[in-house]
Chains A and B, each alone.
Chain A
Amino acid sequence: MKNPGKIQPPVFPPEEILFPEVKLVTLSGGVPVYTIESGTEDVVRAEFTFRAGQAREDIPLLASTVNMMLTEGSQRHSSEEISSMLDFHGSFINPYCEKDRAGFVIFFLPKYSGELLKLAREIVFEPAFPEKELRALMNKRLRWFLTNREKVQNLASDKFYESVFGNSHPYGRQTSEPDFEGISSELTRVFHKTHYNLSNLAVILSGRFRKDTIEMLEDLFSSPLTEPDLPPLAPLPEKGKGEKDIYVHKQNAVQTSIRIGSRTINKRHPDYPGLKVLNMILGGYFGSRLMRNIREEKGLTYGISSSLTSLDLSGFKVISTDVSNENRKLATDEIYMEIDKLRNIEVEEAELGIVRNYMSGEMLRMFDGPFALAESFRAAWEFGLDNDYYRRLAEKIKSITPDEIKALANTYYNIEELYEISAGDR
Chain B
Amino acid sequence: MFVIYCPMIEFSRHTLGNGLRLLVHEDRSSPLVAFNLLYDAGSRDEDETMTGMAHLFEHLMFGGTEAIPDFDTPLQIAGGENNAFTKCDITNYYITVPARNIETAFWLESDRMRGLDLSQRSLDTQKKVVTEEFRQRYLNQPYGDAILRLRALAYKVHPYRWPAIGLDPSHIERASLDTVREFYNLHYAPNNAILTLAGNISTAEAYSLALKWFGDIEASPARIRKLPVEPQQSEPRRLTTESEVPSDAVYRVWHTCGRNEPDFHTLDLITDLLAGGESGRLNRILAREKKMFSDINAYVTSDIDPGLLIVNGKLMKGVDPEEALSGIEDVIRSLSGIRSDDYEFEKVRNRFESSVVFQNTSILNKAMNLSYYELLGDASKINREVEMYRNVSASDVEACLARYLTEKNSATLVYRSAIK
Q: Select A298's contact among B65, B67, B76, B125, beta carbons within 8 Å.
A: B125
Q: Select A361's contact among B80, B103, B346, beta carbons within 8 Å.
A: B80
Q: B381 → chain A, closest Cβ, in Å? A: 20
Contact of B279 with A84 in the complex, beta carbons under 8 Å: yes
Asked if A354 meets B77 with Cβ closer than 8 Å, knowing A254-B139, A299-B125, A324-B135, the reply is: yes
Contact bitstring B263-305, A, C-beta under 8 A = 1, else 0: 0000000000000111100001001100100110000000000
Which A residues are in CB contact (< 8 Å) with B316?
A: 139-140, 143
* Bound CA–CA A143/B354 (angstroms): 32
Q: Is A58 an interface residue (CB 8 A)?
A: no
Q: Which of B60-98 contact A (CB under 8 A)?
A: 65-68, 72-74, 76-81, 96-98
Asked if A322 meets B140 with Cβ closer than 8 Å, knowing A11-B101, A136-B291, the reply is: yes
Contact of B32 with A365 in the complex, beta carbons under 8 Å: yes
Q: Is A167 an interface residue (CB 8 A)?
A: no
Contact of B133 with A302 in the complex, beta carbons under 8 Å: yes
Q: Select B78's contact among A143, A322, A361, beta carbons within 8 Å.
A: A361
Which A residues are in CB contact (< 8 Å) with B2?
A: 90
Q: Is B383 an interface residue (CB 8 A)?
A: no
* Number of A positions contacting B (CB below 8 A): 79
Q: Is B183 an interface residue (CB 8 A)?
A: no
Q: Is A209 an interface residue (CB 8 A)?
A: no
Q: Which of A30-82 contact B (CB under 8 A)?
A: 39-43, 71, 79-80
Q: Select B294's contact among A71, A80, A143, A149, beta carbons within 8 Å.
A: A143
Which A residues are in CB contact (< 8 Å) with B339?
A: none
Which B residues are in CB contact (< 8 Å) with A3?
A: 67, 114
Q: A36 → chain B, closest Cβ, in Å? A: 14
Q: Is A300 an interface residue (CB 8 A)?
A: yes
Which A residues are in CB contact (< 8 Å) with B291?
A: 136, 139
Contact of B76 with A287 in the complex, beta carbons under 8 Å: yes
Contact of B361 with A361 in the complex, beta carbons under 8 Å: no
Q: Select A5's contact among B31, B111, B130, B358, beta carbons within 8 Å.
A: B111
Q: Is A150 an interface residue (CB 8 A)?
A: yes
Main secondary structure on A side of the interface with B: mixed
Q: A24 → chain B, closest Cβ, in Å? A: 24
Contact of A357 with B133 in the complex, beta carbons under 8 Å: no
Q: Is A6 an interface residue (CB 8 A)?
A: yes
Contact of A86 with B278 in the complex, beta carbons under 8 Å: yes
Q: Is B132 an interface residue (CB 8 A)?
A: yes
* Bound CA–CA A152/B140 (angstroms): 8
Q: Is A9 an interface residue (CB 8 A)?
A: yes
Which B residues are in CB contact (< 8 Å) with A297?
A: 125
Which B residues are in CB contact (< 8 Å) with A299?
A: 124-129, 132
Q: Which of A1-45 contact B (CB under 8 A)?
A: 1-6, 8-12, 14-15, 18, 39-43
* Bound CA–CA A355/B76 (angstroms): 7
Q: Select A357's contact among B72, B78, B126, B353, beta carbons within 8 Å.
A: B78
- For B212, give the chain A residue with the smallest CB separation: A4
- For A17, give the chain B residue with the smallest CB separation: B31
Contact of B76 with A354 in the complex, beta carbons under 8 Å: yes
* Bound CA–CA A254/B137 (angstroms): 11
Q: Is B142 an interface residue (CB 8 A)?
A: yes
Contact of B361 with A370 in the complex, beta carbons under 8 Å: yes
* Bound CA–CA A40/B9 (angstroms): 12
Q: Is B213 an interface residue (CB 8 A)?
A: yes
Q: Is A301 an interface residue (CB 8 A)?
A: yes
Which B residues are in CB contact (< 8 Å) with A6?
A: 67
- For A140, give the chain B residue with the smallest CB separation: B294
Q: B107 → chain A, closest Cβ, in Å? A: 5
Asked if A88 meets B100 with Cβ closer than 8 Å, knowing A42-B357, A287-B72, the reply is: no
Q: Is A368 an interface residue (CB 8 A)?
A: yes
Q: Is B306 an interface residue (CB 8 A)?
A: no
Q: B301 → chain A, closest Cβ, in Å? A: 23
Contact of B98 with A361 in the complex, beta carbons under 8 Å: yes
Q: B197 → chain A, closest Cβ, in Å? A: 15
Contact of B129 with A301 in the complex, beta carbons under 8 Å: yes
* Bound CA–CA A206/B107 (angstroms): 36
* Bound CA–CA A4/B353 (angstroms): 44
Which B residues are in CB contact (< 8 Å) with A298?
A: 125, 128
Which A residues are in CB contact (< 8 Å) with B7?
A: 41
Contact of A80 with B361 in the complex, beta carbons under 8 Å: no
Q: Which of A296-342 contact B (CB under 8 A)?
A: 296-303, 322-324
What are 11 A-B contacts with C-beta separation under 8 Å?
A3-B67, A5-B114, A42-B5, A43-B361, A87-B350, A151-B141, A254-B135, A255-B135, A299-B125, A362-B81, A364-B31
> A residues engaging B (CB < 8 A)?
1-6, 8-12, 14-15, 18, 39-43, 71, 79-80, 83-84, 86-92, 107-109, 136, 139-140, 143-144, 146-147, 149-152, 251-255, 285-287, 295-303, 322-324, 353-355, 357-358, 360-362, 364-365, 368-371
> B residues engaging A (CB < 8 A)?
2, 4-5, 7, 27, 29-32, 65-68, 72-74, 76-81, 96-98, 100-101, 103-104, 106-107, 110-111, 114, 124-130, 132-133, 135-137, 139-143, 212-213, 216, 244-247, 276-279, 284, 287-288, 291, 294-295, 314, 316-317, 343, 346-348, 350-351, 353-355, 357-358, 360-362
